[in-house]
Amino acid sequence: MLEPLENIKMLYLMGNPMCLTANYREILKQRFQTLKILDSTTAFSEAEENAKKKRVKRVQAKLAHLGDIPKEAFKIEAADLIPI
């Protein structure tokens, strides 16, 4: 159900019952790596953005022999996501 939102840039949930879920910001940030703004604030800190870039570079280096790397290669595995 959330897949159509995978490229979302801004999301405002203040006042939504979802906000009562423990670690809701972390859950959303894991699932929506393209978020820039979450609840009127920067979604990812500078350190988190740098970590994302390093992860992309690691994956690219690992898969360089394959040529163009599909976007799916950078997704976080379901088993590694924070459970809701």
**In the chain, where the domains are located:** 6-80
Is the predicted pLDDT of residue 69 greater than 80, yes or no? Answer: no
Rounded CA gap, 13 and 73, in Å?
A: 28
Q: Between these two residues, 14 and 76, which has the higher pLDDT value?
A: 14
For 37, the enclosing helix (H) or strand (E) is: strand 37-38
Tokens of 19: 């906000």
For 41, the enclosing helix (H) or strand (E) is: strand 41-42
Q: Report the residue count for the chain.
A: 84
3-state secondary structure of 42: strand
Per-residue model confidence as pLDDT tens digits over 4-46: 777 889 999 999 998 999 999 988 888 888 899 999 999 999 9
